Homo-oligomer: A and B are copies of this chain.
Amino acid sequence: MEPIKIIEIKKSIFADNNIDADELRDELKKKGVYLLNLMSSPGSGKTTTLIRTINLLKDKIRIAVMEADIDSDVDAVKIKEATGIPSIQLHTGGMCHLDAEMTRQGLDSVPMEDLDLVILENVGNLVCPAEFDTGSCRNAMILSVPEGDDKPLKYPLMFSVCDVVVINKIDVLPYFDFDIDKCREYVRMRNPKAQVIPICAKTGEGVDVFADWILREVENWKK
Q: Which A residues have a C-beta under 8 Å from some C-beta of B?
A: 41-43, 69-72, 74, 94, 96, 123-128, 131, 144-148, 150-151, 153-157, 169, 171-172, 175-176
In the bound complex, do residue B157 and residue A94 qualify as a contact, i.e. CB atoms below 8 Å apart? Answer: yes
In the complex the two chains form, is A127's CB within 8 Å of B70's CB?
A: yes
**What are 22 A-B residue pairs whose CB atoms fall within 8 Å in the complex?**
A41-B41, A41-B42, A41-B124, A41-B147, A42-B148, A43-B151, A70-B127, A70-B155, A71-B154, A72-B154, A74-B153, A96-B128, A124-B126, A124-B155, A125-B127, A125-B128, A127-B128, A128-B128, A146-B146, A146-B147, A146-B169, A172-B175
Known: A94-B157, A125-B127. A74 touches B43 (CB 8 A): no
> How many chain copies?
2
Residues of B within 8 A of A150 (CB): 74
Among A126, A146, A171, A176, residue most surrounded by chain B Cβ atoms (within 10 Å): A146
A42-B151, A125-B125, A126-B124 are contacts. A172–B156 as well, Cβ < 8 Å? no
Residues from chain B with Cβ under 8 Å of A172 in the complex: 146, 172, 175-176
For A171, the chain B residues whose CB sits under 8 A away are: 175
* Docked CA distance A72–B171 (Å): 29
Query: What is the CA–CA distance of A200 and B13 in the complex, to the nearest angstrom?
Result: 46
Closest-by-CB residue of B relative to A147 is B43
With A147-B42, A148-B43 as contacts: A94 and B131 at CB distance below 8 Å? yes
Complex: A124 Cα to B158 Cα, angstroms: 13
In the assembled complex, the Cα of A150 lies from the Cα of B41 at a distance in Å of 14
Contact A154/B41 with A146-B146, A146-B169, A172-B175 known, Cβ cut-off 8 Å: no
Further pairs besides A41-B42, A172-B176: 4, Cβ < 8 Å? A70-B156, A71-B154, A94-B131, A124-B154
